[in-house]
Amino acid sequence: MTDEVMPTRKIIHVDMDAFYASVEQRDNPDLRGKPVAVGGSSKRGVVAAASYEARAFGVKSAMPSIAAQRRCPDLVFVKPRFEAYRNVSRQIREIFARHTDLIEPLALDEAYLDVTEDKQGIGSAVKIAKAIRAAIREETGLTASAGVSYNKFIAKLASDQNKPDGLCVILPEQGEAFVATLPVRRFHGVGPRTAEKMQRLGIHTGADLRAMSEEWLQRNFGSSSSYLFKAARGIDHRRVNPSRERKSVGGELTYFNDKQSNEELRAALDEIVDIVWRRIESSGVQGRTVVMKARYSDFRTLTRSKSLTRNVADRAEFSAIGHALLDQILPAEMGIRLLGLTLGGIDQSGQNTRPDAAAEPLVGAQPSLPFDNIEN
């Protein structure tokens, strides 16, 4: 079967607007209308999320807190409350489930929905998206943006098109032209390094990408070439996957003061073991690979890992492996500003697939996301 004759699906991508910051503003009226950043305000803090008032000053997620304060001197920092965010996320999932059983969470604040089968008989994907957004506003006091289209790639692009509190619909006959107008840095899967490489090669928009042959893309982008070739033409046949496989579970701590002595580093790792093992138990996963990550004061980052032929048996074994990996870099050549542990090599056959488990933010899966850095 060719790409052109695949059956058309009705896909919605729902993305909450400035989710963490919006929850804080909802729960604390004093924060409403003010520039708010969720994260630590110290010299090593990182912005996990920024309200739209803060974004107007150029404050962004993953920005160092010091840089954010320079851009917005009146910025209000709020410590993250992940349990509150998870509770709201569960409310939102319940709203999704009224309309479809095909829900693929990407994070606490976003998900793909396949509404090809109209569970409530509402009549169209656009009407379903409107009903979902209205229910989210009424039941949580928050706003969500949605993209409606015929595949996941374009639905996700569309959800970002009219933020905040927006709706964008891209019909099948509009997809290729829509993609052509967009900067390639907005394409899902095109990270900063790939975007930089594309810029050097003269590729700035979807139209520029579409002009390149699949052979040229293969030479320059290797295994990503097929995805890029299809994306530039608005083609994406990935299904909405309710049991999206989890690849790792982890956590890391960034320290206000560097740690260097063997004793304080071992004590720090014990704390990380506690944090990560709680996540592992909550997720119900098992895995056979343990990865230790350390970042020195000069920002050099190294990792050490150990894989077993079976799953890690329990917390004691997870801790023992983690400490053995840490011992490989002791004594530390200089102060360490960040430590992390991740359980990988997840056993998919025994994985817990409850929706909220799949959506919890994971350092191991996405190390660039700042909201997993717990300031100490």
Phi-psi region of 304 (alpha: psi -120 to 50; beta: other; left: phi over 0): beta
Check: CB of residue 25 under 8 Å from CB of residue 35. Answer: no
Coil, helix or strand at residue 320: helix
Q: Which amino acid is at 310?
A: R
In sequence order, which residues have a C-beta less than 8 Å from that of residue 261 and are 6 or more positions away? none
CB 341 within 8 A of CB 250: yes
Reduce the DSSP state of residue 238 to 3 states and report it: coil
In the numeric block, the tokens 């604390």 are attached to: 28
* Distances 358 to 47, 111, 253 between C-alpha atoms, Å: 23, 11, 22
- The b/e string for 179-215 (b: 16+ C-beta within 10 A; e otherwise) is bbebebeebbebeeebbeebeeeebebbbbbbebeee
Q: Which residues contact 67 (CB under 8 A, 6 or more apart)?
A: none
Token duo for residue 360: 């919890």
DSSP assignments along 121-152, one per residue:
--S-HHHHHHHHHHHHHHHHS--EEEEEESSH
> What residue has token string 């509009």?
174
Report helix, strand or coil for 248: coil
Which residue has tokens 């899966």?
365
Can you tell me the distance from the alpha carbon of 307 to that of 299, in angstroms, rounded to the nearest whole number? 26
Neighbouring residues of 214: CB distance < 8 A, sequence distance ≥ 6: 225, 226, 229
110 assigned to active site: yes
289 beta partners:
307, 344
Q: Which of 24, 53, 110, 360 is catalytic?
A: 110
Identify the bridge partners of residue 241 per DSSP, sorted by sequence position. Answer: none
What the block records as the tokens of 267 is 């004590």
Is the four-CA dihedral 48, 49, 55, 61 of positive or negative sign?
Answer: positive
Under 8 Å between Cβ of 268 and 253: yes
Q: Which residues are catalytic?
A: 110
